[in-house]
């Protein structure tokens, strides 16, 4: 579906946040209308909204909800209520830096009256959402240019329209490549434990008519061996200053396999995902989720009762495995540190103009 | 559980084959009593009995069922009925060579009367089952000697008591290591699509009180990175003459990860899994199973309707990734071709004495 025909994953409508409930897909398309910031925090925790850029935009709108709900009559009191709401949103998920980036950006807006601040918070959230769409489209253009003709792409998890406000990062590259006739096929890792590939990426690609094959995460190596994969394109939850990338658990394995087979490995992410304050991947906090996500599938227990399971939600791919990082400011090649710093500076300058 | 307290996965009782139904584990422990070779063929196809050595033993007993059921009154007619039954059993699953090995071995028995042939077929099947247990115990001893102290082992799929007649190949190594106090912990890949790790290996290890952590297949890379894995031990469905190993889909990825992290990668298998007639992995047929095994989990559809999925059940790990192959005749190190041929010759000599 072209952007114009697809409703945004996250939007603001009549004083509420409108979100597609990603836990119900693909069985049901359910839209949530979220009226308070506590409900939003729970929606982020439960992954009803997920994907680093989408979480960032949702949290920004969450501050707009908090600003509207605040009974404050002084700027100071409203700033205090916003700070409290921000604190509650910050603790929902630890790894994706876009959450913290968006909150900080909204909290930094200037205003001289309470009414102005309320308006400025919502305007900044809207700007973050708009910019995310533009960033994804730019990422798509830059990324598609890297692809060979008739490319067969492997992707992991969902870095699509559902993970962003619209269009997607990794799937932005796939979409742009498909529109240009450069993408022939997409291999979609199902992405255990929560099956974002099987449930969400397969749903997005099927809706757009892009040919795909769903595979279990364990099959990627086989298809590399078969020569069936021309490039790997994934999203990111946080990119450290040295280029190390935190992304959905299993991403690192794909990077190792890609290098083993001489296949390019691309990370597609907006500059809001770059965290210059995190020197390397070792400093990125990895969210450990409920082991029941591993021991049960679709509500059914698969492992014997009492068996312990681990559930790290992300892993870190060291920068040395990356062929390039595709941002809305252009394509970064190794060595990454200078390029990442410059991309962030360029994005900030553009933001201020 | 020590071998003596655990009922064999495959056995002969009162003229029937007794099998634990592996599709019902871990929810229910259901024993099947199979009275005819057609039902056995279906049980193999449906994975009620699975694991290369277990399939081999089951097929051998299946020929005993066929011999008993045959109305033949001449040796020639009985041989013809056995050949027909063998043909029906051979087409159940293509990759594990133990199936063909066991069938060939039973068909080769000598006898001079119909009654003698019936008895010899059953005796050979019993011998195959007995030898498999002894082989697994020898594999366990040889393999445990390779492990470092306080070893943390990663295994994939189920190469345990359930995949053999008893004790297991990869889990034979784990069990022997545990009995010797050398194994500290086991990481168990859940092994999508059919979750043999989560359902079967976790069940076996928990029953034996061996500490384990269940992980999704996508998490192995993360635990390698953490330094949590000291050795990988897996089974095999077929080992080609050059040392290439077909095993459960996802095994190749673990081999690549193990090498990337400088961790030993061991294949544990009886010599019945070695196929000197297959020159290399490229010649091993890879079973492609129903895509519904990927798109549905525990009976529930996880992917959108109509989404195509691939389902290769095995992959091939090239010999160059293997640290050693552990057989009942000893530990083979690279280069493998001479060692594999010698191991098969040694096992055959022992068999004839």
> Secondary structure of B135-188 in the HEC alphabet?
HHHHHHHHHHCCCCCCEEEEECCCCCHHHCCCCCCHHHHHHHHHHCCCEEEEEE
Would you say residue A204 has pLDDT above 80? yes
Would you say residue A200 has pLDDT above 90? yes
- Tell me: the pLDDT tens digits for A316-346? 999 999 999 999 999 999 999 999 999 999 9
Q: How confident is the model at residue A348 (pLDDT cuts 50, 70, 90)?
A: confident
* A vs B: CB pairs below 8 A: 171
Determine the Cα–Cα distance for residues B12 and B19; give it in Å rounded to an integer: 9
Residues in chain A within 8 Å Cβ distance of B312: 219, 222
Q: Which residue of A has its CA nearest to B195?
A: A302
Q: How confident is the model at residue B333 (pLDDT cuts 50, 70, 90)?
A: very high
Does A189 qualify as catalytic in the annotation?
no
Determine the Cα–Cα distance for residues A94 and A100; give it in Å rounded to an integer: 9
Per-residue pLDDT at A48? 98
Per-residue pLDDT at A349? 86
Residue B328 φ/ψ, nearest 5 degrees:
-70, -10
Least confident of A115-119, A295-299, B37-41: A295-299
Would you say residue A1 has pLDDT above 70? no
Q: What is the ipTM of this complex?
A: 0.96
In whole numbers, what is the pLDDT of chain B averaged over residues? 96
CB pair distance less than 8 Å for A303 and B190:
yes
In whole numbers, what is the pLDDT of chain A averaged over residues? 96
Residues in chain A within 8 Å Cβ distance of B216: 192-193, 217, 249-250, 294
Asked if residue B178 lies in contact with residue B279, where contact means CB atoms within 8 angstroms, the answer is no
DSSP string, B295-348: HEETTEE-SPTT--B--B-EEEE-GGG-SEEEETTEEE-SSHHHHHHHHHHHHH
Mutate to test the interface with A, among B215, B223, B304 (most CBs of A within 10 A): B304
List, in sequence order, every residue forming a beta bridge with A330; answer none if it has no partner: A327
Q: Name the residue among B219, B250, B301 with its Cβ closest to that of A310.
A: B219
Would you say residue A353 has pLDDT above 80? no
Would you say residue A351 has pLDDT above 90? no
**What is the least distance, in Å, from the CA of A250 to any CA of chain B?**
4
Residues in chain B within 8 Å Cβ distance of A216: 192-193, 217, 249-250, 294
Q: Which residue of B has its CA nearest to A193?
A: B216
Token pair 């890379």: residue: B221
Residues in chain A within 8 Å Cβ distance of B295: 198, 214
Q: At what angle do helices A37-45 and A52-69 cross, to 10 degrees?
A: 160
- Tell me: the pLDDT tens digits for A174-195? 999 999 999 999 999 999 999 9
CB atoms within 10 A of CB A179: 15
Q: How confident is the model at residue B43 (pLDDT cuts 50, 70, 90)?
A: very high
Q: Name the residue among B191, B195, B307 with its Cβ closest to that of A214.
A: B307
Mutate to test the interface with B, among A25, A189, A218, A220 (most CBs of B within 10 A): A218
Residues in chain B within 8 Å Cβ distance of A301: 27
Domains of chain A: 3-136 (1.20.120.420), 142-352 (3.40.50.10470)
Residues in chain A within 8 Å Cβ distance of B222: 249, 252, 312, 315
Would you say residue A2 has pLDDT above 60? no
Per-residue pLDDT at B146? 98
From the candidates B189, B237, B244, B275, give the one annotated as an active-site residue: B237
- Tell me: the pLDDT tens digits for A157-175? 999 999 999 999 999 999 9
Task: Report the residue count for chain A.
Answer: 353
- Tell me: the pLDDT tens digits for A235-253? 999 999 999 999 999 999 9
Q: Name the residue among A218, A252, A307 with its Cβ closest to that of B249.
A: A218
Q: How confident is the model at residue A9 (pLDDT cuts 50, 70, 90)?
A: very high
From the candidates A81, A132, A237, A244, give the one annotated as an active-site residue: A237
Q: How confident is the model at residue B69 (pLDDT cuts 50, 70, 90)?
A: very high
Identify the helix (H) or strand (E) that includes residue A295.
helix A292-295
DSSP string, A170-218: HHHHHHHHHHTT-EEEEEEE--TTTTHIIIIIHHHHHHHT--EEEE-GG
Would you say residue A87 has pLDDT above 80? yes
Q: Name the residue among A225, A250, A295 with its Cβ closest to that of B218.
A: A250
Q: At what angle do helices A98-107 and A75-90 cross, to 10 degrees?
A: 180
Q: How confident is the model at residue B4 (pLDDT cuts 50, 70, 90)?
A: low
Per-residue pLDDT at B326? 98
Q: Which residue of A has its CA nearest to B252?
A: A221
Instruction: Answer with the residue of higher pLDDT: A183 or A299.
Output: A183
Residue of B300, B311, B348, B307 whose CA lies nearest to B328: B348
**What is the least distance, in Å, from the CA of A318 to any CA of chain B?**
10
Residue B38 φ/ψ, nearest 5 degrees:
-70, -40
CB pair distance less than 8 Å for B294 and A192:
no
Per-residue pLDDT at A352? 66
Residues in chain B within 8 Å Cβ distance of A202: 303-304, 307
CB pair distance less than 8 Å for A212 and B308:
yes
- Tell me: the pLDDT tens digits for B72-104? 999 999 999 999 999 999 999 999 999 999 999
Per-residue pLDDT at A350? 78
Per-residue pLDDT at B2? 56
Q: Name the residue among B213, B260, B302 with its Cβ closest to that of A310.
A: B213
Average pLDDT over residues B25-31: 95
Per-residue pLDDT at B5? 64
CB pair distance less than 8 Å for B297 and A298:
yes
Q: How confident is the model at residue A3 (pLDDT cuts 50, 70, 90)?
A: low
CB pair distance less than 8 Å for B304 and A206:
yes
Determine the Cα–Cα distance for residues A68 and A161; give it in Å rounded to an integer: 28
- Tell me: the pLDDT tens digits for B265-300? 999 999 999 999 999 999 999 999 999 999 998 788
Would you say residue A5 has pLDDT above 70? no
């Amino acid at each position: 579906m072209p952007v114009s025909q697809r409703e945004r994953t996250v939007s603001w409508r009549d004083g509420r946040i409108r979100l597609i409930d990603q836990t119900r897909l693909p069985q049901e398309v359910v839209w949530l209308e979220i009226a308070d910031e506590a409900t939003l925090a729970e929606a982020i925790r439960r992954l009803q909204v997920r994907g680093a850029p989408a979480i960032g935009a949702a949290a920004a709108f969450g501050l707009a909800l908090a600003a509207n709900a605040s009974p404050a009559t002084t700027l100071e009191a409203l700033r205090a209520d916003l700070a409290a709401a921000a604190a509650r949103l910050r603790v929902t998920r630890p790894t994706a830096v876009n959450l913290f980036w968006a909150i900080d950006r909204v909290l930094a807006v200037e205003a001289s009256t309470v009414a102005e601040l309320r308006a400025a918070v919502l305007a900044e959230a809207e700007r973050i959402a708009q910019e995310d769409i533009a960033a994804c489209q730019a990422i798509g253009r830059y990324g598609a240019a890297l692809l060979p003709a008739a490319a067969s792409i492997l992707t992991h998890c969902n870095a699509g329209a559902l993970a962003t406000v619209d269009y997607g990062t990794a799937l932005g590259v796939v979409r742009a490549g498909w529109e240009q006739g450069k993408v022939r096929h997409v291999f979609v890792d199902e992405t255990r434990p929560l099956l974002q590939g099987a449930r969400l990426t397969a749903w997005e690609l099927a809706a757009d008519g892009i040919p795909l094959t769903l595979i279990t995460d364990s099959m990627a190596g086989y298809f590399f061996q078969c020569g069936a994969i021309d490039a790997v394109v994934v999203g990111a939850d946080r990119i450290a200053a040295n280029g190390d990338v935190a992304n959905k658990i299993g991403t690192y394995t794909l990077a190792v396999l890609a290098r083993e087979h001489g296949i390019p490995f691309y990370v597609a992410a907006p500059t809001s995902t770059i965290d210059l304050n995190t020197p390397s991947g070792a400093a990125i906090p990895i969210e450990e989720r409920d082991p029941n996500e591993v021991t049960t599938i679709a509500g059914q227990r698969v492992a014997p009762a009492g068996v312990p399971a681990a559930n790290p939600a992300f892993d870190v791919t060291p920068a040395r495995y990356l062929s390039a990082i595709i941002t809305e400011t252009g394509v970064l090649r190794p060595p990454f540190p200078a390029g990442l710093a410059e991309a962030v500076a360029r994005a900030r300058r553009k933001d201020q103009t």
